């Protein structure tokens, strides 16, 4: 997403006063945009990935690996090419929350050619190379979901101390210097979320109760400068965190695709929603928080809590104040309502929205499902407002709408076309933890895009009640969920709904293996459907070979024959000679694992338990001319 750079961010007090203004105009902007673009048809499939990286500084003499807080400097360099030739670059670089993070996307979205599946990985490799050119000799970029010692002493370069009594985050552990300084959005979000909430965010993750973890596990927070407020909310036997950076400082992998029209976008949004928790389990890569091994494998709820701006009243902890109402969820979370007609009857969680806004949308010709979705997004206050953004022309601008939309971080995002652009209605798939290698990340991206094609071509129906999807999200981050959890899933996804069946009869509990690979006579499996789709597709030999390898990886992960990144990390930690069965990640463990991670990413070391033996594909930098010519 492009970020506006002009102007100054307003204080929370000012933003709060103007929040109604932003919402009022944001809704009008959406209505205007909808009226102009609802009938837009015939957009072709385009899609693209977003990969987030962290920059690590290794010190091989002292055996340390730290977060290098140089992304601002590095990005300035990386963006020079784009500034000189915006449409000619192979990749785009963008800031992210951490001062050690960078994000990249392909220079142009990929199109509908099957041969595009074969250039994703090469493009990802190219990005690493391009970034490497801007790094200092000891710096490396890695795709790693959460830095193992994020928020531990001496974990950044330069070293920087937390400031519990001043600054944006007020964390006992994490310095504000770890927040990207080059754009005011990030620090403003951190400040305003904390101020709106009325206290610091609270994140408690159950610790992995290894033999030598004391019972109860409880840290001396007063010694870190706590005034008692953290001590009160930090749970026993949990790793406690208190800042936005602990969540938004995690790296993820996202995929966006363009639909041919708004209906198709709504269908894709709905159909992929029940699949999000399955991908949480399958891509789980995040078992460690603040230097401790924990009992969860994925980042999802950590981020959700890290940006939970609800007041105590809104969270139901104390009587409501004036203008407050109870809000069930954080602004980061699972999709809470389906958007397609088919999805309507599965919307079984109470959706909060403003009746007046809802009515305004209905009065302007927007149907109930879309109206309630948009009205629900707009229950959230604006938490970052720039002085230059205040007055907009609601006929042409959509910044106020985007302001609210882009701070509703849901498992799927429904993206309207930007005004005056060639871009169509899109959906974004957002649950995945990022994987170590380009091979894995490309595999996931291609798999998700293929799944979206199969859903549309075969008219699949994956819908189950949204409350069950929500329950699945909790299961998806559990330790080793791929092998030990069952997920609610629709039993028959290929035929149209049997009207004699009740909704409860339509779904059952399945393992990830059954959902992906199928179960004889019981469930068809998504992979066999993808394979059948591919067999009917005109696809060149190299692309075919690459895609086969990608699908194999996913099949094996789902079947538990290959480890998830989270399981692999657990094993690295618990078998490390320096590990004392105390759930602690020492500097040495951190260094050794990140070295290994880097070597695996660059292919210097193989890792069959994670990747199998077939980790190279036939990926190429561009679609071969013969293929381009053949379709002309």
CA–CA distances in Å: residue 611 to residues 188, 191, 346, 554, 555: 40, 41, 37, 10, 11
Cα–Cα dist 56/147, whole Å: 9
In this complex, which beta carbon is closest to ligand ADP, that of residue 256 or of residue 267?
Answer: 256
End-to-end CA distance of the chain: 32
For 242, the enclosing helix (H) or strand (E) is none
Residue 306 binds ligand ADP, judged by CB under 6 A: no
Beta strands in 22-138 (DSSP E): 47-59, 64-68, 91-95, 101-106
Pick the stretch among 101-109, 177-185, 302-310, 368-376 that binds ligand ADP (CB under 6 A). 101-109
From the list ligand ADP, Mg ion, none, partner contacted by residue 197 (C-beta under 5 to 8 A by kind) = none
Comparison of 107 and 162: residue with beta carbon closer to Mg ion: 107
For residue 623, CA distances in Å to 86, 105, 114, 440 come to 21, 18, 10, 20
CB nearer to ligand ADP: give 50 or 506.
50
Which one of 134-142, 143-151, 158-166, 254-262 is the stretch in contact with ligand ADP (CB under 6 A)? 254-262
Residues contacting 598, CB < 8 A, separation 6+: 56, 140, 142, 604
Q: Which does 329 bind (CB under 5 to 8 A by kind): Mg ion, ligand ADP, none?
A: none
Stretch 484-543 residues interacting with ligand ADP (CB under 6 A): none
Choosing from 180, 246, 257, 523, the residue that interacts with ligand ADP (CB under 6 A) is 257
CB of 113 to ligand ADP, least distance (A): 14
**In whole angstroms, how close is the CB of 449 to ligand ADP at the nearest point?**
10
Judged by beta carbon, residue 32 or residue 254, the one nearer Mg ion is 254
Q: Residue 301 class from Cβ within 10 Å (0-12 exposed, 13-18 middle, 19+ buried)?
A: buried
Q: Are 551 and 449 in contact (CB under 8 A)?
A: no
Residue whose Cβ sits closest to Mg ion: 254
48 binds, among ligand ADP, Mg ion, none (CB under 5 to 8 A by kind): ligand ADP
- 8 Å CB contact between 124 and 51: yes
423 lines the binding site for ligand ADP (CB under 6 A): yes
Q: Which residue is nearest to ligand ADP (CB)?
A: 48
Report, in Å, the least distance between residue 236 CB and ligand ADP.
38
> Of ligand ADP, Mg ion, none, which one does residue 4 interact with (CB within 5 to 8 Å by kind)?
none
Contact between 309 and 404 (Cβ < 8 Å): no
CA distance readout (Å), 116 to 442, 445, 452, 515, 547: 11, 11, 15, 26, 11
Number of residues that bind Mg ion (CB under 5 A): 3
Please give the helix or strand (H or E) that residue 372 lies within, else none: helix 368-377
Question: For ligand ADP, how many residues bind (rule: CB under 6 A)?
Answer: 15
Residue from the set 29, 71, 118, 256 that interacts with ligand ADP by CB under 6 A? 256
Nearer to Mg ion, 248 or 593 (CB): 248
Contact of residue 47 among Mg ion, ligand ADP, none (CB under 5-8 Å per partner type): ligand ADP
To the nearest 10 degrees (0 to 180), the angle between helices 12-37 and 368-377 is 160
* Cβ at position 164, least distance to ligand ADP in Å: 32
Q: How far apart are CA 47 and CA 38, in angstroms?
A: 20
Query: Rounded to the nearest whole angstrom, what is the least distance from the CB of residue 304 to ligand ADP in the complex?
Result: 17
Residues 288-347 close enough to bind Mg ion by CB under 5 A: none
Helix axes 184-197, 12-37, angle to 10 degrees: 110
For residue 249 the two structure tokens come to 């400082």
Is residue 105 near ligand ADP by the rule CB under 6 A?
yes
Rounded Cα distance between 323 and 317, Å, is: 16
The reply on whether position 433 binds Mg ion by CB under 5 A is no
- Token pair 């999709």 is found at 335
| Residue 106 site contact among ligand ADP, Mg ion, none (CB < 5 to 8 Å, cut-off depends on kind) | ligand ADP
Phi/psi at 583 (5° precision): 65, 10
Alpha-carbon torsion, ordered 522, 528, 530, 531, to 10 deg: -170
1 is a site residue for ligand ADP (CB under 6 A): yes
- By CB under 6 A, which span of 47-55, 348-356, 529-537, 586-594 interacts with ligand ADP? 47-55
* Sites for Mg ion among residues 240-259 (CB under 5 A): 254
Instruction: Based on the shown chain and the rule CB under 6 A, indicate whether residue 258 belongs to the binding site for ligand ADP.
Output: yes
Q: How far is the CB of 567 from Mg ion (least distance, A)?
A: 25
Q: How far is the CB of 92 from Mg ion (least distance, A)?
A: 12
> Is 452 a residue that touches ligand ADP (CB under 6 A)?
no
Q: Interface residues for Mg ion in 197-236 (CB under 5 A)?
A: none
Residue 50 sits in the site that holds ligand ADP (CB under 6 A): yes
Of residues 257, 358, 342, 246, the one with CA closest to residue 291: 246
Closer Cβ to ligand ADP, 124 or 462, answer by number? 124
Choose, by CB under 6 A, the member of 9, 48, 431, 465 that binds ligand ADP: 48
* Partners of 141 in the β-ladder: 55
Residue 221, classified by CB atoms within 10 Å of its CB into exposed (0-12), middle (13-18) or buried (19+), is buried
Q: Taking a C-beta distance cutoff of 8 angstroms, is the pair 212, 325 a contact?
A: no
For residues 33 to 72, the per-residue mask of contacts with Mg ion, x marking binding by CB under 5 A and - elsewhere, is -----------------x----------------------
Q: Residues 99 to 118: which contact Mg ion by CB under 5 A?
A: 103
Q: How far is the CB of 46 from ligand ADP (least distance, A)?
A: 4
- Residue 283 DSSP label: T
109 binds ligand ADP (CB under 6 A): yes
Q: Which is nearer to ligand ADP, 25 or 426 (CB)?
A: 426
Contact with ligand ADP (CB under 6 A) among 32, 33, 49, 595 = 49
Peptide bond into 216 cis (omega under 30): yes
Residue 305 contact, options Mg ion, ligand ADP, none, Cβ 5-8 Å cut-off depending on partner type: none
How far lies 127's CA from each of 51, 134, 163, 222, 425, in Å?
Answer: 10, 11, 35, 44, 27
Residue 56 contacts by C-beta under 8 Å, 6 or more apart in sequence? 65, 66, 67, 68, 100, 139, 140, 141, 142, 147, 594, 598
CB of 198 to Mg ion, least distance (A): 28
* DSSP 8-state secondary structure symbol assigned to residue 418: P
402 binds Mg ion (CB under 5 A): no
Q: Which lies closer to ligand ADP via its Cβ, residue 71 or residue 258? A: 258
Instruction: Say which entry of Mg ion, ligand ADP, none residue 394 contacts (CB below 5 to 8 A, set by partner kind).
Output: none
Q: Contact positions toward ligand ADP, by CB under 6 A?
A: 1, 46-50, 105-106, 109, 256-258, 423, 426, 428
Q: Contact positions toward Mg ion, by CB under 5 A?
A: 50, 103, 254
């Amino acid at each position: 997403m492009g970020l506006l750079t002009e102007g100054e961010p307003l204080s929370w007090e000012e933003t709060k006063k103007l929040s109604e203004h932003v919402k009022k105009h944001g809704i009008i902007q959406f209505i205007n945009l909808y009226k102009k673009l609802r009938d837009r048809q015939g957009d072709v499939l385009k899609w693209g990935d977003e990969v987030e990286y962290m920059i690590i500084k290794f010190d091989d003499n002292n055996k340390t690996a730290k977060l290098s807080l140089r992304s601002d400097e590095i990005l300035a360099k990386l963006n020079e090419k784009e500034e000189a030739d915006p449409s000619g670059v192979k990749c785009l670089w963008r800031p992210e929350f951490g001062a050690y993070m960078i994000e990249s996307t392909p220079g142009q979205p990929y199109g509908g050619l099957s041969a595009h599946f074969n250039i994703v990985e090469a493009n990802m490799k190219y990005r690493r190379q391009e970034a490497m050119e801007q790094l200092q000799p000891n710096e490396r970029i890695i795709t790693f979901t959460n830095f193992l010692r994020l928020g531990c002493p001496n974990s950044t370069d330069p070293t920087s101390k937390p400031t519990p009594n001043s600054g944006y985050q007020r964390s006992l552990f994490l310095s504000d210097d770890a927040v990207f300084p080059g754009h005011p959005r990030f620090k403003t979000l951190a400040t305003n979320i904390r101020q709106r909430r009325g206290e610091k965010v609270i994140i408690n993750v159950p610790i992995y109760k290894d033999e030598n973890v004391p019972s109860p596990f409880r840290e001396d927070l007063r010694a870190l400068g706590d005034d008692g407020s953290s001590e009160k909310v930090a749970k026993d036997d949990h790793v406690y965190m208190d800042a936005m950076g602990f969540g938004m400082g995690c790296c993820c992998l996202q995929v966006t695709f363009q639909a041919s029209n708004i209906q198709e976008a709504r269908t894709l949004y709905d159909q992929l929603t029940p699949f999000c928790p399955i991908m949480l389990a399958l891509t789980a890569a995040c078992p460690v928080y603040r230097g401790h091994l924990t009992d969860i494998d994925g980042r999802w709820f950590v981020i959700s809590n890290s940006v939970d701006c609800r007041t105590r009243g809104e969270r139901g902890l104390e009587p409501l104040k004036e203008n407050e109402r109870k809000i069930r969820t954080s602004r980061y979370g699972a999709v809470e309502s389906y958007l397609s007609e088919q999805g309507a009857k599965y919307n079984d969680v109470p959706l909060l929205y403003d009746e007046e806004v809802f009515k305004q949308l209905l009065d302007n010709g927007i149907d109930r499902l879309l109206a309630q979705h948009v009205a629900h997004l707009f229950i959230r206050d604006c938490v970052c407002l720039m002085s230059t953004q205040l007055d907009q022309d609601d006929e042409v601008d959509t910044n106020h709408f985007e302001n609210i939309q882009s701070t509703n971080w849901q498992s799927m995002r429904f993206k309207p076309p930007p005004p005056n652009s060639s871009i169509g209605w899109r959906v974004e798939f957002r649950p995945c933890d990022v994987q170590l290698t380009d091979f894995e990340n490309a595999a996931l991206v291609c798999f998700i895009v293929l799944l979206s094609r199969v859903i549309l071509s075969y008219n699949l129906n994956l819908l189950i009640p949204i409350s069950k999807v929500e329950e699945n999200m909790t299961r998806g981050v559990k330790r080793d969920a791929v092998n030990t959890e069952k997920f609610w899933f629709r039993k028959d996804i290929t035929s149209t709904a049997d009207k004699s069946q009740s909704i409860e009869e339509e779904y059952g509990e399945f393992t990830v293996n059954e959902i992906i690979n199928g179960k004889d006579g019981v469930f068809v499996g998504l992979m066999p459907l993808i394979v059948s789709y591919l067999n009917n597709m005109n696809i060149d030999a190299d692309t075919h070979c690459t895609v086969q390898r990608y699908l194999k990886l996913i099949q094996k992960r789902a079947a538990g024959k290959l480890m998830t990144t989270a399981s692999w990390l657990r094993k690295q930690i618990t078998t490390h000679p320096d590990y004392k069965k105390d759930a602690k990640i020492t500097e040495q463990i951190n260094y050794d694992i990140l070295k290994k991670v880097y070597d695996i990413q660059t292919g210097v070391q193989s890792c069959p338990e994670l990747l199998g033996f077939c980790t190279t594909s036939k990926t190429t930098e561009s679609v071969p001319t013969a293929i381009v010519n053949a379709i002309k």
